[in-house]
Amino acid sequence: MLLSWRALRTVVWRNPSRMFSVSRSVLLQRKGLVLGVFEQEGEEQDLTEAAAGFDQSISGKLSELLKISGPALKKGKSRVFYGIHEDFPCVAVVGLGKNTAGVCGAENWDSSKENVRHAVSAGCRLLQDLEVSHVEVDSCGDAQSAAEGAVLGLFHYDQLKSKKKPKVTTQLHGSNDTVKWEKGVTYAEGQNLARLLMEAPANHITPTAFANTIEEKLAPHGDRVSVVKRSKAWMEEQQMGAFLSVTRGSDEPPVFLELHYNGLPGGNQPPLLLVGKGVTFDSGGISLKPSASMDAMRADMGGAATVCASIVTAAALKLPVNIIGLTPLCENMPSGKATKPGDVVTAKNGKTIQVDNTDAEGRLILADALCYGHVFNPRAIVNVATLTGAMDVALGSAATGVFTNSDWLWEKLQKASVVTGDRVWRMPLFEHYTRQVTDSQLADLNNIGKYSRSGGACTAAAFLKEFVTSTHWAHLDIAGVMSNKDEVPYLRKGMSGRPTRTLVEFAAQLGHNS
């Protein structure tokens, strides 16, 4: 349906609802298009290369529409035009901010990339709401970021609903940079896998179901990957008393999931070790959590989700790096068999732990996983966990807190986060905090700090440090970034899957540097 310029202007601006009714029949049959414009001084707007080419193909009608339709589009804002091109019944134009944006030291990210993600996401969602089934996307000068914005922005967890949002396929428009576009799609699909796992109800994603899902996702990658699902009997052989103490209250069997990705087969390159907390539901155990918002604890396996999704993504990208992933999976539930406050358990390295709060369980399962991980002689260890509410209090959703004993490792993680826009922020590992967890009445360590409400994220990190001998180790506390309300504009409300893309980018840079 191709309208004349005079008829289009009359219908769109005098009666928008009529225009929608006229166009709806073709919206479902044809494609939508997302194009970008940069913000200039005053009310001027600068079309991207793809937008300028499209504008030329319709004799400048897009430029004229933008001038008469209102003020210049600001960053992240969008506007839809109908019937201006025969192949695209609706065209969403999105604001990219200023073309001079780049890496911002104050924000610790690349503003240009973030602007593209934000804008493209807004345009794709708008067209999804119009039930357009296929969208072509302007690269906006950064095809990878555009793909990430499109794929992340369109994700919506409705697997268990009868009425689902329309499925939308996307492809690059007006550019030959398909390699970067496909890379962005893969990065975003990795984060969406983590979101899918984190969002699913705990009765659907049990430890066993989680492990089976990851095994299925890695199956297409053949000899490069191997998956081992360790049983409770193996954990007992390994003397993982800390991990096993958390599992006692649940009827669901625990699983210790071990993933191997060989991106450098036949080489002697030491692996990157990723360790993720995998509590598929955290009731708090005997130290029961308040019922309000307890449902969100289905995502307490966010560390395991991001670690496993990162390895799936690394395999899809064929990154030239060896990665081992370890995720202890279990539920933390109250029962007559559950660990009681004041109980003392023994970790794999022989250290005894006084469990004064059974809701501080993540550090217990990670302690044994970290001990075991050292047998692989890793190049670096990165563990990821929704570990403490204190981390949310400290940083909110702005960044993942990083505790590390290695300046080299910190620099690599920080550099990766600038690229992805999924930021990290370094936190202290002072001896001050170590003294608080080693001051225990009954055992070598206490699983909560001496002053439990003070510096909780820091004392949790200090606890984990007692189980690490590697000189390159980082603990990522992702409790603050676990979910999204409206803080990250290109993610819908719900579980965020952060910082999957940062982990993938870190592994990619590590592989290419080696």
pLDDT tens digits along 359-382: 999 999 999 999 999 999 999 999
Can 248 be counted among the known catalytic residues?
no
For the residues of 255-288, what is the DSSP string, one character each? EEEEEEEESSTT--PPPEEEEE-EEEEE--TTSP
pLDDT of residue 268: 80
In this structure, of 13-17, 162-166, 276-280, 326-330, the range with the lowest mean pLDDT score is 13-17
Catalytic residue check, 30: no
Chain length of the chain: 514
pLDDT at 116 over 80: yes
501 pLDDT more than 50? yes
Amino acid at position 240, single letter: M
> Is residue 65 over pLDDT 80?
yes
CATH (residue range 191-198+225-513): 3.40.630.10
- Given the residues 117, 298, 363, 379, the one annotated as active site: 363
Statement: residue 428 has pLDDT above 90: yes
Share the mean pLDDT of the chain: 93
pLDDT band at 513 (very low <50, low <70, confident <90, very high): confident
Residue 22 scores a pLDDT above 50: no
Number of H helices, E strands in the chain: 17, 22
What's the pTM? 0.94
Q: What is the pLDDT of residue 23?
A: 44
Catalytic residue of the set 289, 415, 426, 450: 289
Q: What is the pLDDT of residues 223-244, one digit of tens each?
A: 899 999 999 999 999 999 999 9
User: So where are the chain's domains?
Assistant: 5-177, 191-198+225-513
Tens of pLDDT, residues 429-474: 999 999 999 999 999 999 998 876 789 999 999 999 999 999 999 9
Contact yes or no for 364/254 (Cβ under 8 A) = no
Residue 27: pLDDT band with limits 50, 70, 90: very low
Look-up of token digits 């992805």 = 420
Q: Which residues contact 511 (CB under 8 A, 6 or more apart)?
A: 263, 264, 319, 320, 321
End-to-end CA distance of the chain: 55
Query: What was the pLDDT predicted at 514?
Result: 63
One-letter identity of residue 347: A
Question: 5-177 maps to which CATH number?
Answer: 3.40.220.10
